Structure 1
Amino acid sequence: MSMSSSEPFIQEGGCRCGAVRLRITARPLLTMACHCTGCQKMSSSAYSLSAAIPSEAFEVTQGEPVIGGLHGAPKHYFCGHCMTWMFTRPDGIDFFVNLRPTMLDDPSWFVPYMETWTSEKLAWATTPAERSFAALPPDDAYGEMIAGYAATWAAPDRLPANTQS
């Protein structure tokens, strides 16, 4: 059965050890890969992945995440036991939470729509992102990108296999 982009999107996940669990109940506003050197260090990888989840659709269901990283702005949340970087809450921006999508039990649906800080990326690091920025996108670009990303959910091959009603 083909699923429509208007059907409920419910996903659960957690840190590596399982002490902290979370749930999202809406599709992301936007998905991204960040190539900045800070994300490279925090993720121990070539880039970090993020899904901007509407704040009202994000909840920690078990455990208590702790603030890690630089302990400043933005606030990066980790499991206090296994130290998995789980999500970020940007200071002064309350309408979304940047979830590391690999925290979800099934992140197979995730594809980064945009990539940022390509000016700092490792030369071999590539993503399938449709939009690319040397640093951060201009503030006036987000509305168009959110609409462009939402349109990708109309394609049947982009819908998650375990979307629940």
Structure 2
Amino acid sequence: MTDWALPRAGGCRCGQVRIEVNAPPLITMACHCAGCQRMSASAFSLSAAIPAKGFHIIRGEAVIGGLHGATRHFFCPRCMTWMFTRPEGMDWFVNLRPTMLDDPTGFAPFIESWTSEKLAFAETGAVHSYDAFPPLEAYDGLMRDFAVWTGT
């Protein structure tokens, strides 16, 4: 992932909710947890942690779906596409599903989490793997390594 041209536009499957990204990701991830498998109807979910100031809904309004807890998962109210997540207590970034971008070219997961729940066939090519989430104290170093990896 060496060319994260900005700004990048995107939207849900039906186009009712449109977004714009004006900042490069802090880190990119694949999550293999059973919850993400169910919400994405796939072997894992992909996300790019975008600084909150660089993420904007430019048309429509996303609604909370999935689990209705403190961590908020946002969906298009019409087509129900899972678009992004705002993790509890971490308002400084938005976990964008990078496949919502009109052009997801250049995206690759840098870390993968919850490999303890990974389906046997699922491979992501991530540089770092964790049985659960990385320890909180590891993120500063991972984000620095990601910046070197991407050349940002």
Fold-level match, TM-score > 0.5? yes
Partner residue, 2:115:
118
- Show CA shifts across 1:11-53 (max 9, x none): 0000000000000101100000000000000000000000000
The runs of at least 4 aligned residues of structure 1 exceeding 3 Å deviation read none
Amino acid at match of 1:49: L
Partner residue, 1:25:
22
2:106 to 102, 105, 109: 109
Partner residue, 2:53:
56
Cα separation, 2, equivalents of 1:67 and 1:139: 26
Amino acid at match of 1:74: T
CA RMSD of aligned residues (A): 1.6
Displacement of 1:9 after TM fit?
Answer: 2.3
Partner residue, 1:88:
85
Cα separation, 1, equivalents of 2:27 and 2:151: 15
Amino acid at match of 1:93: M
- Show CA shifts across 1:142-165 (max 9, x none): 01110111112229xxxxxxxxxx
1:139 aligned onto 2:136: yes
Cα separation, 2, equivalents of 1:16 and 1:8: 22
1:36 to 13, 30, 33: 33
Unaligned runs of 5+ in 1: 156-165
Cα separation, 2, equivalents of 1:68 and 1:115: 23
- Show CA shifts across 1:60-112 (max 9, x none): 00001000001112100000000000000011111100000000000011000
Cα separation, 2, equivalents of 1:152 and 1:10: 20
Unaligned runs of 5+ in 2: none
1:100 to 87, 97, 100: 97
Query: How many corresponding residue pairs?
Result: 151
2:151 to 130, 133, 154: 154
Higher Rg = 1
